[in-house]
Amino acid sequence: MPNEGAAAACLLVLALLLGACSGAPSASGERAQAPSHPLILLSLDGFHPDYLDRGLSPRLQALADDGVRARWLNPSFPSKTFPNHYTVVTGLRPDRHGIVDNTMLDPLLGRFALHDRDAVGDGRWWGGEPLWVSARRAGLRSATLFWPGSEAAIGGYRPDRWLPYDAALSMSDRVDRVLAWLALPPARRPHLVTLYLEAVDTTGHLYGPDSAEVDGALAAVDAALGRLLDGLAEIGLTGAVNLVIVSDHGMAQVDPARTLVLEDLVDPSLVEIVGLSEILSFNPRPGRTAEAESALLAEREGLTCHRRTETPPQWRFGSHPRVPAIVCLLEEGWRVRRRERFNPWQDRSGGNRGAHGYDPLSPSMRALFVAHGPGLASGLLVDPFDNVHVYPLLAALLGIAPAPGDGDPAVTAAMLR
């Protein structure tokens, strides 16, 4: 075990170095009263709430038992990473904030993909007002260690401190960076910090949610959470931080035998392919709408397609101009491949074994919600709720007025101490 005093000293030195990179003060002329306790928003991407029952996450379980835990959190449609992360911090459904998938087309901006750094950093894609912008408008300081939207100037604002996403940055290094921010003197310490850990999602995709590898990822993520909690103790913030832990969606097992081939669904010459995952989206080529709809809207096993104006009402999806003309949803466990890229013999022995993006109301897509801290109730188990309601709770913990959105503060009011 390292010397605790030395570890604290190292954190302090790192904090002072990071302080030199502090962002500009808020452009807002009004300042909210600083919250008594910093808020950490932690995302465990792809963490299904039932994973807690495996007994591999003792630090997370302790927070859930002593704080607030939802039976589960309902993701918004589509149950994808970027749309749901941005919903959590805006309180808007994807059809309203405009991040309608991980891959999109915009008539003015072109194509968006989550690995395209230029698109991700372009504030024109990101509608609504994310939490760090609400905080900065109120004169509060924010720091984001990876969160969809945090790399862009939205409404003219960025977080005071932020980093471009770097999958190679280890979980321990991410935690140490957050601790260094929180070790800054109170006059410079961020009031809001976000932290993103994707190991459970990445492993679930590769090996499936029931795999031994996912069990290993659960233990590793819990160790990172323990490092965060122990580090807070070293810098004197035990019991002084509100911690809200969410996931964006769960994970389902994929059956390689349940594979659809795109070219069997529609002639690719009839459509522009916008997205090709658990959610398939298309824009018919000019003059080919009737042919494309005839092919795609036909009944078939494993897939259901809708015109954007006729999507199921529970999706609350289809009004934003970025929603393609035809949206298709795979049934759970199914997948789609291009014929020229699909070798069924090789693919059945490897490749992705887990997926999300299926119907958000499916039990496999359920997300995690745990909250713990001095501003939150203790020992409270709450019924499931939609993830749009997380944002008003976060705003309340920061002591700021929430921006208009789809979330209802009454849903989470009982969680506040």
Residues of the chain with pLDDT > 70: what percent? 90
Distance between CA 166 and CA 168 in Å, rounded?
5
Measure the CA angle with vertex 218, ends 214 and 221; round to 5°.
130
At the top level of CATH, which class does the domain 259-351 belong to? Answer: alpha beta
Tokens of 137: 């408008």
Q: What is the pLDDT of residues 358-401, one digit of tens each?
A: 999 999 999 999 999 999 999 999 999 999 999 999 999 999 99
Q: Please state, as a whole number, how many other Cβ atoms lie within 10 Å of the Cβ of residue 170.
A: 11
Tokens of 4: 């605790």
pLDDT grade for 350, boundaries at 50, 70 and 90: low
Domain ranges of the chain: 34-250+361-415, 259-351
The per-residue pLDDT for range 395-415, each reduced to its tens digit, is 999 999 999 999 999 999 999
User: Which one of 81, 87, 144, 194 is the catalytic residue?
Assistant: 81
For the segment 30-52, the average pLDDT, to the nearest whole number, is 89
Which CATH code of 3.40.720.10, 3.10.310.70, 3.40.50.300, 3.40.50.970 fits the domain covering 34-250+361-415? 3.40.720.10
Helix (H, G, I), strand (E, B) or coil at 268: helix
The pLDDT of 13-42, averaged and rounded, is: 56
Q: Is 203 a catalytic residue?
A: no
pLDDT (average), residues 298-327: 96
